Structure 1
Amino acid sequence: MGYPKPKSMTNRSLKICLFVSFIFLIIVATVIISLSLTIFKPKNPDVSLYPIGLKDLQFFQPNVTIVPLGLIITIVNPNYGGFKTKNTTGFLNYHKTLVANVPIKTEFLPARSTTNVTAIAGLMTQNLISDADFLSDIEDGSFNLTANATLHGKVHMIKVFKLKATVYLSCDMFFNITSFDTHSSCITKIKV
């Protein structure tokens, strides 16, 4: 015939179980917070813009108002999470004048990788030519454009977590017309 266990034994076992569970939760919370502040802390991507087909670019074509300029956007994602962008539009400016819209399609940027994205900028040649500074820049053999875009999307962490994020992009592009040389300098900012 079995005897019931004394209440003090049952209460003691329950207290030990609760204490161990509490310690386990503290350890898990500490690990998650440490990882989110170190390894999983969002880092700004590195972006470069490369125009293509500059040799064939004709600014002064009669009856042509929009000239296509191909762009390769190289994005280095240093984060441990992939980023899926939504369709968006970038803008090219000459000084403060809008000279092109750049549609950017949805892309998935895998974690810790480099991705090349192609886009076509529709250069509004009339906006460029009507700016008095542009003609003097052409005579000097070079000109600058600035590119801006806001990429909205979701960060995919460990194939489990999905967080909304936005990447703000601003680039300065230098065009040397005589040597067809270009280079860009970009600043990015990610906000989760």
Structure 2
Amino acid sequence: MGCCNSRTKKALKIGCGITAILLIILLIVAITLYFTILKPKSPEVTTQSVTLETVRLEPFPAFHLNITIGLILTIHNRNYGSFKYDSSRAYVTYRGDPAAEAPIEADTIPARADHDLSTTVLIDSDGFSKNPNFLGDLFSGCLNFTSSTALHGKVTVWKVLKLKARTVSTCDISVFIKFQNATSVCKSKIKF
């Protein structure tokens, strides 16, 4: 009976040792997967087109400038999970002064996919024409704006892991009045 008891203890120790080794291996694999594949990455935002749709300048009786910009951005979701975001707004400023805002409708960006986001922004000079730099920039023929957008939503990985996320995008937009065109450069990052 003592011999059987020592065999049982030895088998139990071996079983516990193998189980512990397997758990450590699974933990290492899970950590490696997270930091190499599943770790949330910032989406890449590229500007497909910035079009200056209209420029309306009324110098008299009171100075007034309206600029309509069409903006198409492509958001590349580099993650292995989809990103579903809520409705939001894009804000445009001129040297820190409010210039415009535009609605952004709720949508989902599938995992490892591209998503086009288009919006039209009507910029009205009433909000920023008193800025001391405005007349100098206007006469130089180039007005520089900054747009910012925060999209709040959830990242879903393999329909199991759901994380609240927020992606913040900023674009520097240059409007060339004389040439009737515009350019932009965008940056984006995701926060969990």
Q: Which band: TM-score by shorter chain?
A: 0.7 to 0.9
Q: Deviations over 1:135-154 (max 9, x none)?
A: 44333222110011222111
Which has more strand, going by share of residues? 2
Structure 2 unaligned segments of length 5 or more: list them.
Answer: none
CA–CA distance in 2 between the matches of 1:56 and 1:15?
Answer: 79
In structure 2, what is the equivalent of residue 137 of structure 1? 137
CA–CA distance in 2 between the matches of 1:65 and 1:55?
Answer: 14
**Is the 2:56–2:65 contact (alpha carbons within 8 Å) kept by the matching residues of 1?**
no
When the two structures are aligned, how many residues end up with a matched partner? 188
In structure 2, what is the equivalent of residue 188 of structure 1? 188
Code of the residue aligned with 2:19 in structure 1: it is: S
Shift of 1:28: 0.9
TM-score by length of 1: 0.81
Q: Where do residues 1-192 of structure 1 align in structure 2 (5 Å cutoff)?
A: 6-49=4-47, 50-52=49-51, 54-58=52-56, 60=58, 69-131=69-131, 133-192=133-192
4+ aligned runs moved over 6 Å, structure 1: 64-67
TM-score by length of 2: 0.81
Residue range with higher mean Cα deviation, 72-81 or 85-94: 72-81
Task: Report the 3-state secondary structure (helix = DSSP H, G, I; strand = E; otherwise coil) of the residue aligned with 2:38.
Answer: coil
CA-atom RMSD in angstroms: 2.9
Code of the residue aligned with 1:144 in structure 2: it is: N
Code of the residue aligned with 2:26 in structure 1: it is: V
Cα gap change, 1:160 to 1:68, in 2 (>3 Å): same
CA–CA distance in 1 between the matches of 2:181 and 2:147?
Answer: 17
Structure 1 unaligned segments of length 5 or more: list them.
Answer: none
